[in-house]
């Protein structure tokens, strides 16, 4: 019989050791130290550019052949690829899609690992002691066990784990296609922002010229009113026109700043050079009419449609997993090791231990949970079918609308450009006549204002045509062979 004092002392020792271990382990933390992410913004709210250029992140981003080809055709005289690559490396939305792909890949690895046995090492030291000597003699025990084995391995006879793995793989593929679609959308957004910023800069220049000419007309009108050549009403009308021109110039400046910030936002808010012109983006011909005769099935190659189809396949696999839940599951736990009544003799001869625990689980009553899960999986598949059909219809509409809009936009751009050139030619003739004294300077200023308005119309028409070409690029993104846009 074990003395009670010995039992009590041993119990206190183990309790103290257990508490000390809990305190030590509780003080350990594997959480990494938090550091606020670096960000790049202008120093004040009124500034446009950061004080220093953002530190370039390590990125292996490069342009594909169709992407590089489109950029060369869109802007033959200026390389826009650095701007696009910069956006792919710094844009937060695109980096988020990249991380989502990595997360989906990791989740697929988790689901795939469930189909394989999980081998683990276990070491235990089980003690059960009582203060009562009688109970201690009858129920007290001390068993040390060390084993290597498999726990709860599901044989997956009905394919539940396989279906879950297939669903995870399709979700991963869907996220990958989603990243490609996001890439095309980002490139198109960068080009739209660039074209809008260049157009806003040219609009600002024209309104500033109108503001200057209107102010000069107002000065002349004031002098004419003072000598009695015009009435007060005429002067007031000229004052109103000058005020409107000045207000429009200020608004054009605000619009240009907003366009710069929009371009900075999609490229990670790094310092951007203000260069290039909208005219450079109109140097090549646009799409051809024979595209309309192309087979509409080529749109099935678009990443967003492939993403919707992958999600549909994942939903179909989920139905298989939901159906398998109605059938029995057979699992196995087994281990091989040693057991002893003390740690000291754990690996002595004759201490071998083998356990074999098969288990069969048959669902009998679950309150309708399995049926509800199956119904939910089937409804999700129907929703994915609707999303897939919607993606196809949206893709067809995007392409058709962009193709339909191209010819009218091209004709309008050519018409407005020709009108602006005619106005400039008339300004040159009037300037020469004014220099010879054959024309009044006021008439020349009025013609300059009219020519600036004609140039504003040409800028708007050119911007619309460029945006149409970018929309076609995005509509055909991922389609092989890529049309020469």
216-220, 338-342, 443-447: range with lowest mean pLDDT: 338-342
Per-residue burial over 200-236, b if 16 or more Cβ lie within 10 Å, else e, is bbbbbbbbbbbbbbbebbbebbeebbeeeebeeeebe
The Cα-based distances of 4 to 131, 135, 140, 341 in angstroms read 6, 11, 12, 20
Question: Strands of 352-361's sheet, edge to edge?
Answer: 119-128, 141-154, 329-340, 352-361
If you average pLDDT over residues 147-157, what whole number do you get?
Answer: 86
Task: Output b/e per residue, 159-179; b: 16+ Cβ within 10 A.
Answer: bbbbbbbbbbbbbbbbbbbbb
Mean pLDDT, the chain, whole residue set: 85
Average pLDDT over residues 112-133: 84
Task: State the pLDDT at residue 153.
Answer: 85
pLDDT for residue 471:
93
Tell me if 72 sits within 8 A of 160, measured CB to CB.
no
| Reported confidence tier of residue 136, pLDDT bands at 50, 70, 90 | confident
- Is 253 exposed, middle or buried, given 0-12, 13-18 or 19+ CB atoms closer than 10 A? middle
Q: Is the model's pLDDT at 231 over the cut of 70?
A: yes
When comparing pLDDT for 308 and 14, which is higher?
308
Where residue 131 falls among pLDDT bands split at 50, 70, 90? confident
Per residue in 7-44, pLDDT (tens digit) is 444 445 555 555 565 555 555 677 888 888 877 777 77
Distance, in Å, from the CA atom of 92 to the CA atom of 37, rounded to the nearest integer, reads 12
Residue 241 phi, psi (nearest 5): -65, -40
For the ranges 283-287, 333-337, 348-352, the lowest mean pLDDT is seen at: 283-287
Instruction: Choose from 20-24, 289-293, 432-436, 454-458 the range with maximum mean pLDDT.
Output: 454-458
- Put simply, whether the predicted model's pTM sits higher than 0.85 gets the answer no
C-alpha span between 24 and 374 (Å, rounded)? 47
Give per-residue pLDDT as tens, 237-263: 999 999 999 999 999 999 999 999 999
The total number of residues shown for the chain amounts to 485
Residues in a beta bridge with 125? 144
Q: What is the CA radius of gyration of the chain?
A: 38
Please tell me the distance from the alpha carbon of residue 179 to that of residue 186, in angstroms, as a whole number. 10
**Distance (Å, rounded) from C-alpha 3 to C-alpha 7?**
6
Report helix, strand or coil for 290.
helix
Supply the pLDDT for residue 2: 44
- The confidence score (pLDDT) of residue 16 equals 57
pLDDT bucket at 177, cuts 50 / 70 / 90: very high
């Amino acid at each position: 019989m074990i003395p009670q004092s010995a039992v009590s002392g041993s119990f206190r020792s183990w309790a103290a050791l257990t508490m000390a271990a809990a305190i030590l382990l509780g003080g350990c933390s594997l959480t990494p130290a938090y550091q606020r992410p670096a960000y790049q913004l202008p120093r004040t709210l009124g500034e446009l550019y950061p004080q220093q250029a953002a530190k370039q992140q390590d990125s292996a981003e490069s342009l594909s052949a169709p992407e590089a080809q489109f950029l060369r055709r869109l802007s033959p005289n200026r390389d826009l690829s650095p701007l696009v690559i910069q956006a792919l490396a710094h844009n937060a939305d695109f980096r988020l899609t990249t991380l989502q792909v990595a997360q989906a890949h990791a989740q697929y690895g988790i689901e795939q690992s469930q189909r394989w046995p999980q081998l683990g090492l276990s070491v235990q030291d089980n003690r059960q002691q009582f203060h009562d000597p009688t109970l201690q003699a009858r129920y007290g025990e001390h068993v040390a066990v060390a084993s290597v084995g498999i726990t709860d391995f599901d044989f997956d006879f009905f394919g539940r784990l396989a279906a879950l793995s297939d669903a995870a793989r399709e979700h991963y593929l869907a996220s990958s296609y989603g990243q490609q679609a996001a890439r095309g959308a980002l490139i198109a957004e960068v080009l739209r922002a660039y074209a809008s910023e260049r157009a806003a800069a040219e609009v600002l220049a024209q309104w500033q010229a109108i503001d200057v000419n209107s102010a000069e007309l107002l000065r002349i009108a004031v002098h004419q009113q003072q000598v009695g050549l015009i009435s007060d009403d005429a002067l007031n009308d000229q004052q109103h026109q000058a005020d409107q021109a000045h207000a429009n110039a200020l608004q054009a400046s605000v619009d240009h700043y907003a366009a710069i910030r929009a371009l900075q936002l999609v490229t990670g808010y790094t310092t951007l050079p203000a260069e290039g012109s909208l005219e450079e983006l109109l140097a090549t011909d646009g799409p051809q009419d024979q595209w309309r005769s192309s087979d509409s099935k080529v749109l099935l190659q678009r990443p967003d449609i492939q993403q919707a189809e992958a999600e549909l396949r994942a939903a179909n696999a989920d139905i298989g997993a939901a159906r398998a839940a109605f059938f029995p599951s057979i699992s196995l736990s087994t281990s091989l090791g040693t057991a002893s009544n003390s740690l000291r003799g754990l690996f002595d001869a004759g201490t071998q231990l083998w356990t074999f625990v098969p288990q069969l689980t048959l669902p009998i009553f679950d309150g309708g949970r399995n049926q509800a899960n199956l119904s939910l999986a089937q409804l999700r598949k129907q929703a994915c079918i609707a999303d897939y059909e919607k993606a196809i219809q949206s893709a067809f509409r995007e392409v058709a609308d962009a193709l339909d809009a191209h010819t009218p936009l091209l004709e309008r751009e050519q018409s407005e450009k020709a009108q602006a050139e005619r106005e400039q030619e008339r300004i040159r003739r009037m300037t020469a006549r004014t220099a010879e004294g054959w024309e009044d300077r006021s008439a020349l200023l009025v013609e300059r204002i009219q020519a600036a308005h004609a140039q504003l119309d040409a800028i708007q028409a050119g911007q619309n045509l460029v945006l149409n070409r970018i929309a076609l690029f995005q509509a055909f993104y991922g389609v092989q062979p890529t049309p020469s846009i």
